[in-house]
């Protein structure tokens, strides 16, 4: 039972160690205040409709866990809270339960505790490449009666796992084959290293309509694997992981790259989202939903109330920002970011700046 | 008597807590020294005429208080000092006295102690939207025989008040109706989050000719409300406020945005003005007057002499800067700022850079 | 005898207090290494000819003192060292000796101890404007058999002296009248706030061929006067001076501004030059000579050997840099600076960047 | 026997003192992650062919030592490790052994311990200019059966050696004469101050096809000589060296300058390469091989295992980066760097930015 034990390592390490690295580059984003917003707060609506569900605010807890008892408890806590607040959540990779059906309850508990909330199933790209197909995808969705399924890209993590799945070739064509047979939306999801323009473009071209960018600046899976490598005495691997722990595209840049490649897609802006201000910046950079994982895990570990308070503060922040930027809906926050420093230099160097400014930006003044 | 008690909270918190957040971006402004200024200090005139009054220097204390005994004492102290120095001041929101005429004396005391100084009346935009009209505006002006009236925009603060007035819709049209019936100049005034280009433009279009930009980098009303929320046990609200305490447009940018939108307007550059150098930079960025609140409050609290010394040092600074930049009048400081870093990037991103350079800038060399 | 006592204050304060402020912006300058310099160190010649004298290296100690016994000792020490090393020096303002001829020996001692070295006489612009004319200029030159005379601009200092001379009007025309009657070169010299493009241009237009830019980032005379004001109990003046102690144009920018305005002039790059690397950067930015005051004062105070070591290390630095940049003469260092950050932004904002690149820059590649 | 003793000073100082200065500017480089790399790790090949040898990864230890017993031990350790790992190494300057053949064994030991690895011979440019010719070059190559020979440029070091060889004139023409008679590739190698565009161009023009840029940000030979000067009581020299210890072109810029000048050349990116991430950035900036000296020396001093672990971690890093950027070969990393800040400003100021982007950069989007 290798997967479950690795999953337990992960929970333990992310809870006890410093697993964050790099920067989201949100420090190079400001959202433009409107002194006279000409709006009534009662007309500010933070709700969004996404994947067939209505969310009270554009916030989700992204997929983390499942597969063991502790994980089930965490899934239950998160589920109760998002149900209560009208938000959404993902579960962690369901591979363990696919391979060991007796573990399915640790995921199903999410739907039990959250009968109405948006739930996102989760499988890893490496599994698709090692034989998983339409059956497993359907199983994963059905297992939790999911509203969508995230296929996670975690190449950076796999590269630093001694037991890593290191074949990422053919994923696009594999997905291209499957996509029409899956009746729930497929979300292409990174896990902390960020989606780049080219990757987003390739997936958009085969019909993918949703992305979770999960950029760098928050939880670093390279760093998590560094701790595991150290525990296993794999010094060279640990050293390489330490050196590369801030690998990836900072979240603010990843949102812009993905938005530039897929102007119509549903984009979850995540990776290092820690405060309400981060969430607002993610939305203003072009995300439809802000996502977070690690802080939700830590809060859930301290209890349901902690998590509720934390997410509520995020909801209040977004409502306030919509009010203060004259944005009746969360979508209206888009294009209200002003960027500078390395973030702007990056977008220009990458030739995505103009594409990103794209359609939503206010037209030139004169 | 809700308003007065809230006002007392505000005084207490701003005096005892750290209520400042973010940056004015004045650190990205330098004023150009003229080694041979070709001017005689005796020809340097720091006086300006504004709102029908003559000021000995382009400095005012912006509106803060009134409505209770302590507030009255502070108003009195500030009034005595500005009268003596030939400067100007605003009073805090007069809503309390409009609703409880027995409190009017706490505002009137300003005019008593400052029979000749520039005095600015003050009402909040939310009140206008909740029924105040020409009558209340006139009452406020008459109450202190004001030379102008500031209508303050404090959406950011209201958004974090549990009891916040959250309807900002229709302000422009409401003011458009009133404007011709008010025989004193109306100043559109922010309270620490900064006036943006679009807001300034809308007000200019209905005939507003004066603005107090009150940008971010000084007193943060979001942060003040954080303390109040904490005291009331509103943890989520407090957390959201903490996260967003540097919300707003940095003062240096706000001055440029407002000047770009209203090249002919009278602009008060305020929000985080703490030193003479800040005041000089505000003027060089395009303000006609530098304004400050919190440091004047703190000085006034320590006594009249403290405030006088502080404001005198500001006057000396401005005089010196005019001399050293060959500026016979404060107006001549305009366009003598060189900007860089995020401030310049902001103005370019916002498409206000060229508008800001506008008319006053020296023409091309060669 | 007001002047001498003020001069003693200055010596005491600059020796005992921290009188430096701001930055030279040399941190935004790099000088381009040539890996294969294709030069023999024996063909590297650090000598320059300037004001009719030959210097062993392009380094001078700029004018500081005179007028009392301590000052005389310092002048003597500096003179002995520059004579021995083949460098140059200026004396401090000779006003005291013009007005009190019995003090002339405190300046003359420089020529006694340095019979061959480059010596620069010194008078203040304010004196010219208060009646000094051709006679006093000649007296000052003759007093020390000077090779040139610096007319110093110290408006920033005067502005913060309670007894300041605050008339700077008419200096250009006054100098225009005098210039043909003075048979030694006149150097327009700042004193720590930097010469700007416009000032340099005006002086160039009346025939001035030499400048000492003395920019900000080193000794701040505003800060020196802050200490004096504090000692005199002038709190407001001290506060204003504290706020404005980094007033001025950073040395790196001042060199570029002056060079842009006067491509053919002899330029002394000074103000905050502390290390050999600073001196090299000053030369690469376009100065002909690097100048320094405060560190020479401090070294001289500790004795002749200290100063000699210090200046020798500077000479070694310049020789090394010429070698490593394939520069047979100091002039060849010009145009070998690469600039970035605020310094480059400043030059572009000021529209002097292209003028500065001017004639010496290598032509476009391709 | 002057050279060997100096060489012992160098070993001692570099091992015991802080001899690093400045920055590589790698902090202004990011390598672009590909979330869906569409590659199988088993198709990632880190091998390169260079100078007729195959390396398991594009990493070499650049030349450091020889000439005494300790040096021999270090050469042996490094040789054993690179043989085992399939990497390459250089030896230090072989001048000592050319002049004292009895010392040749201290270099030969490298080939004994590394019969198959890439070995690079080493002679200094100053020696070529003082009489060394084709004979000595052949001797150096034969001595260790080298695959290539590095001619090192160390003008910055020589400039701060009391006994420095300071004639660098005629190197190009001298090499131009020799080049056809040397049957192994000649590498023009800096030693910590970086190769600039002009130098690279000159060498390319005479037929040089390989460069080791060895930029600033790592070991500073100016700083090393500072310690030696201090030990010898040469205070002025030491002070000058201290001031100039960060002299040179930062490694990231040096790689770009050299690549811009010699698009087809084999380039070793070295100077301050400390981590696997640095090595990756060097390759992404346009180097073919990453080189490092000081950290290898320190590791070798602690023993063979230490060095092996260190270099293995580097190999793992590069493999991971190739995987994560979809780069089947190390060459494919080229052009996958995004640069910003001073590094980008430098390249633009130097007019090498467009040349650098050159051929490998992806063409415009749209
Ligand atoms: C304990 C833990 C387990 C995770 N497991 C998964 C997973 O199974 N599948 C997945 O797509 N992402 C997983 N993630 C990644 C998160 O969904 C998220 O993309 C990443 O942590 C970055 O967000 P953060 O900085 O807010 O933590 C996990 C994260 C954590 C902290
Ligand atoms: C204690 C206090 C009370 C204030 N009350 C008012 C007010 O009633 N009306 C208003 O327009 N602004 C009010 N302000 C805002 C100030 O006028 C000013 O815009 C803001 O504090 C930013 O300036 P500062 O950074 O110099 O404090 C108040 C400020 C303080 C510190
Ligand atoms: C003690 C002292 C006295 C000075 N007196 C004069 C003076 O009389 N005339 C003058 O032109 N500059 C005078 N200066 C200014 C210096 O020449 C120089 O321009 C300034 O100090 C900046 O250089 P630094 O940063 O190397 O000190 C004086 C400087 C010092 C430290
Ligand atoms: C102890 C030591 C001795 C060196 N000796 C030589 C040498 O003889 N020839 C040479 O080309 N470079 C020599 N170098 C320079 C290195 O090859 C390298 O270019 C430089 O140290 C910068 O790389 P680093 O920052 O990784 O140390 C030496 C470096 C060290 C640390």
Domain ranges of chain B: 2-357
- Report ipTM for this prediction: 0.96
Residue B162: pLDDT band (50, 70, 90) is confident
Determine the residue of D214, D250, D273 to mutate for testing ligand 4's pocket, defined as the one with the most ligand atoms within 8 A of the Cβ atom: D214
Give the pLDDT score at B206.
97
| Residue B341 to residues A181, A339, B15, B338, C340, Cα–Cα distance (Å) | 51, 12, 33, 11, 11
Alpha carbon distance, N-terminus to C-terminus of chain D: 66
D201 touches chain C (CB under 8 A): no
D301 within 8 A of D243, measured Cβ to Cβ = no
Averaged confidence pLDDT in chain B? 95
| Residue B309 to residues B144, B302, C222, Cα–Cα distance (Å) | 26, 12, 19
D237 touches chain C (CB under 8 A): yes
Would you list the DSSP string of C277-323?
HHHHHHHHTT-SEEEE-HHHHHHHHH-HHHHHHHHHHHHHHHHHHHH
Q: Do chains A and C touch (3 or more CB pairs under 8 A)?
A: no
pLDDT in tens, B89-126: 999 999 999 999 999 999 999 999 999 999 999 999 99
Give the pLDDT score at C3.
58
Give the pLDDT score at D164.
84
B100 touches chain A (CB under 8 A): no
D275 touches chain A (CB under 8 A): yes
Residue B3: pLDDT band (50, 70, 90) is low
User: Ligand 3 centre and the CA of C319: distance in Å?
Assistant: 26
- CB-ligand 3 contact for C64 (6 Å cutoff): yes
Q: Measure the CA–CA gap between A191 and A296, rounded to whole angstroms.
A: 15
**Rounded percentage of chain B residues whose pLDDT exceeds 90:** 94
Dihedral pair phi/psi, residue A349, rounded to 5°? -55, -40
Nearest to D200 by CA among D256, D279, D270: D256
Average pLDDT over residues D207-225: 98
Averaged confidence pLDDT in chain D? 95
Residue A364: pLDDT band (50, 70, 90) is very low
- CB-ligand 3 contact for C127 (6 Å cutoff): no
Instruction: Report the length, in residues, of chain B.
Output: 366
Residue A8: pLDDT band (50, 70, 90) is confident
Lowest-confidence segment of B248-252, B358-362, D212-216 by average pLDDT: B358-362
Query: Which two tokens mark C90?
Result: 């200026």
Beta-strand runs (E) in chain A: 29-31, 48-50, 53-55, 59-61, 88-90, 118-124, 148-153, 186-190, 210-212, 266-270, 289-292, 337-339
**Which chain A residues have a beta carbon less than 8 Å from that of B216?**
33
Instruction: Quickly tell me which residue has 């020809």 as its tokens.
Output: B43
Which parts of chain C have pLDDT scores under 70? 1-4, 359-366
Contact B320 C237 (CB under 8 A): no
Apex A142 CA angle, A137 and A147, nearest 5: 85
**Which chain D residues have a beta carbon less than 8 Å from that of A199?**
34-36
Would you list the DSSP string of D129-198?
HTT--HHHHHHHHHHTT-SEEEEEE-HHHHTT-TT---B-TTHHHHHHHHGGG--S-EEEEESSS---HH
Q: Which chains have at least 3 CB atom pairs separated by less than 8 Å from chain B? A: A, C
Instruction: Quickly tell me which residue has 């989202």 as its tokens.
Output: A273
pLDDT in tens, D40-62: 999 999 999 999 999 999 999 99
pLDDT in tens, A298-317: 999 999 999 999 999 999 99
Residue A354: pLDDT band (50, 70, 90) is very high
Q: Measure the CA–CA gap between C236 and A142, rounded to whole angstroms.
A: 76
**Which chain A residues have a beta carbon less than 8 Å from that of D35?**
153, 155, 188, 190, 193-196, 199
Q: Which residues is B26 bridged to in the sheet? A: none
Alpha carbon distance, N-terminus to C-terminus of chain C: 66
Give the pLDDT score at C165.
82
User: Ligand 3 centre and the CA of C192: distance in Å?
Assistant: 7
CB count in 10 Å sphere of residue C298: 14
A348 touches chain B (CB under 8 A): no
Alpha carbon distance, N-terminus to C-terminus of chain B: 66
Q: Which residues is B219 bridged to in the sheet? A: B20
pLDDT in tens, B183-203: 999 999 999 999 999 999 999
pLDDT in tens, A155-195: 999 999 988 888 999 999 999 999 999 999 999 999 999 99
Residue A199: pLDDT band (50, 70, 90) is very high
Give the pLDDT score at D363.
36
pLDDT in tens, D321-356: 999 999 999 999 999 999 999 999 999 999 999 999
Give the pLDDT score at A4.
62
Residue B2: pLDDT band (50, 70, 90) is low
Name the pTM for this structure.
Answer: 0.97
What is the distance of C-alpha B174 from the center of its chain?
A: 22
Half-sphere exposure of D245 (CA within 13 A, CB side): 19
Give the pLDDT score at D366.
35
Q: Which residues contact D339 (CB under 8 A, 6 or more apart)?
A: A349, D28, D29, D252, D285, D347
CB count in 10 Å sphere of residue A186: 22
Averaged confidence pLDDT in chain A? 95
Q: Do chains B and D touch (3 or more CB pairs under 8 A)?
A: no
Please determine, for residue B365, whether its predicted confidence score (pLDDT) is greater than 90.
no
Q: Which chains have at least 3 CB atom pairs separated by less than 8 Å from chain C? A: B, D
| Closest approach of A30 to chain D, Cα-based (Å) | 19
Half-sphere exposure of B252 (CA within 13 A, CB side): 28
The CATH architecture of the domain made up of A2-357 is Alpha-Beta Barrel (3.20)
Q: Reduced to 3 states, what is the DSSP secondary structure of residue A325?
A: coil
pLDDT in tens, A64-86: 999 999 999 999 999 999 999 99
| Residue A79 to residues A90, A210, A270, A275, Cα–Cα distance (Å) | 9, 22, 19, 20
| Closest approach of D309 to chain A, Cα-based (Å) | 6
Contact D155 C37 (CB under 8 A): yes
Half-sphere exposure of A1 (CA within 13 A, CB side): 12
């Amino acid at each position: 039972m290798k997967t479950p034990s690795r999953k337990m390592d992960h929970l333990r390490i992310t809870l006890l160690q410093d697993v964050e690295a790099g920067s989201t580059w949100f420090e190079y984003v400001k959202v433009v205040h409107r002194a006279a917003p000409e709006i009534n707060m009662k007309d500010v609506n933070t709700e969004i409709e996404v994947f067939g569900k209505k969310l009270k605010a554009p916030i989700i807890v992204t997929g983390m866990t499942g597969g063991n008892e502790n994980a089930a408890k965490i899934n239950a806590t998160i589920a109760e809270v998002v149900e209560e607040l009208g938000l959404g959540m993902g579960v962690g990779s369901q591979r363990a339960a696919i391979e060991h059906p007796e573990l399915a309850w640790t995921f199903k508990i999410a739907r039990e505790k959250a009968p109405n909330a948006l739930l996102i199933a989760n499988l890893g790209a490496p599994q698709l490449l090692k034989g998983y197909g339409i059956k497993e995808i359907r199983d994963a969705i059905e297992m939790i009666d999911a509203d969508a399924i995230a296929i996670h890209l975690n190449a950076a993590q796999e590269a630093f796992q001694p037991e890593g799945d290191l074949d990422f070739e053919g994923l696009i064509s594999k997905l291209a084959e499957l996509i029409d047979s899956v009746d729930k939306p497929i979300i292409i999801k990174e896990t902390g290293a960020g989606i780049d323009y080219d990757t987003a473009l390739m997936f958009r071209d085969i019909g993918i309509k949703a992305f979770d960018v999960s950029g760098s600046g928050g939880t670093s899976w390279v760093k998590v694997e560094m701790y595991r490598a150290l525990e296993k005495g794999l010094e060279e691997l640990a050293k390489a992981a330490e050196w590369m722990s801030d690998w990836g595209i900072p979240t603010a840049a990843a949102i812009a790259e993905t938005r530039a490649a897929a102007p119509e897609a549903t984009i979850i802006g995540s990776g290092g989202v820690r405060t309400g201000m981060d969430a607002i910046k993610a939305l203003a950079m072009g995300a439809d939903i802000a996502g977070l994982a690690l802080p939700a895990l830590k809060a859930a570990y301290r209890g349901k109330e902690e998590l509720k308070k934390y997410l509520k503060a995020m909801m209040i922040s977004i409502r306030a920002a919509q009010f203060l930027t004259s944005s009746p809906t969360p979508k209206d926050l888009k294009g209200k970011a002003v960027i500078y420093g390395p973030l702007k230099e990056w977008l220009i160097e990458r030739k995505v700046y103009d594409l990103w400014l794209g359609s939503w930006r206010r037209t030139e003044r004169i």
